[in-house]
Amino acid sequence: MSAPATERDTVGVFSPGRARILARTLRQDRWWLSPLLTVVGLAAFVIYATIRSFVRTAYYAADYHYLSPFYSPCLSESCVPGASHFGTPFPELPMWIPLAFLSLPFLLGFRLTCYYYRKAYYRSVWLSPPACAVAEPHSRYTGETRLPLIIQNSHRYFFYAAVVISVINTYDAIVAFHGEGGGFGFGLGNVILVVNVLLLWTYTVSCHSCRHVTGGRLKHFSKHPVRYWVWSQVSKLNTRHMQFAWITLGTLVLTDFYIMLVASNTISDLRFVG
């Protein structure tokens, strides 16, 4: 939040007692490159995911039961036949409502409130600050104590929802082991779906809230050896949480894109069995 011009000389980096440096930063390296790449990467994903979630085309390859993760679960009568793995309890939906309207808000909330993504977009989008030793343009800082940023504290609840959605994605990947004429079969699409869901689980389980769920509020690890072991494994994954955050953005796009190509008959699925 920018303060009125009259206040600028007394708050934030202009406070009395702070070094009087006119330059915004004395850094000579390309400190701007990392925030720039981050904002480009996030923007590319958001644009792709938004378009794909609304177009309602080529999201289900009926021959092999491949369902795009951007359309799961598909619970309305607007879904193409076969795409509704859990039935159609909802009526037809207008075009401005995405077919995965039940999961997308929670997935969006999960990613938006993720500790890694917060760091990414605080730096890259809000420039707060853009990098170490680079003064931010804002002169006030209210933290996550008021709207809208206080919503960040709800991350653990989005984590629970993400676990449920990961179970649904796992089910989607399992029912996709389906041959063209019925029965068992698998092809490259199955490999992509399974890899995607495994990585989604890895991202979800490596969440900071998961660390708290598994090992938080314990006074003595020695009295809870199972929870301690689980917490230790989650903590190891947690050190790579940033990488999983980015990798899963890529695998989500790749999975949807591949299914789009197969469902639209642009390419044929590479079949190994069935």
241 binds ligand FES (CB under 6 A): yes
If binding is defined by CB under 6 A, does position 114 make contact with ligand FES? Answer: yes
Cα atoms in the 13 Å half-sphere on the side-chain side of 273: 9
Cα distance between residue 84 and residue 251, in whole Å = 22
- 52 binding ligand FES? (CB under 6 A): no
State the minimum distance, in angstroms, from the CB of residue 166 to ligand FES: 11
Positions in 139-168 near ligand FES (CB under 6 A): 155, 159
Provide the minimum distance between the beta carbon of 208 and ligand FES in the complex, in angstroms, as a whole number.
Answer: 4
Output the smallest distance, CB 9 to ligand FES, in A.
38
How near is the Cβ of 162 to ligand FES at its closest, in Å? 7
**Are 52 and 260 in contact, with CB atoms under 8 Å apart?**
yes
Q: Which residue has the tokens 């699925």?
A: 269
- Pick the stretch among 11-19, 96-104, 113-121, 214-222 that binds ligand FES (CB under 6 A): 113-121
Q: Which is nearer to ligand FES, 73 or 109 (CB)?
A: 109
Site for ligand FES in 204-233 (CB under 6 A): 207-209
Residue type, 33: L
Q: How many CB atoms lie within 10 A of CB 11?
A: 15
Tell me which residue of 150, 166, 201, 1 sits closest to 69, measured CA to CA.
166
The pair phi, psi for residue 271, each rounded to 5°, is -95, 135
Least Å from the CB of residue 126 to ligand FES: 18
Given the complex with ligand FES, which of 86 and 160 has the nearer CB atom? 160
Using the minimum distance from each CB to ligand FES, give the nearer residue, 163 or 195: 163
Calpha distance 60→260 (Å, rounded): 8
Residues across the chain:
274
Q: Is 32 in the site for ligand FES (CB under 6 A)?
A: no
Helices 188-205 and 155-175, packing angle to 10 deg: 160
**Using CB under 6 A as the criterion, which residues of the chain lie in contact with ligand FES when the complex forms?**
110, 114-116, 155, 159, 207-209, 241
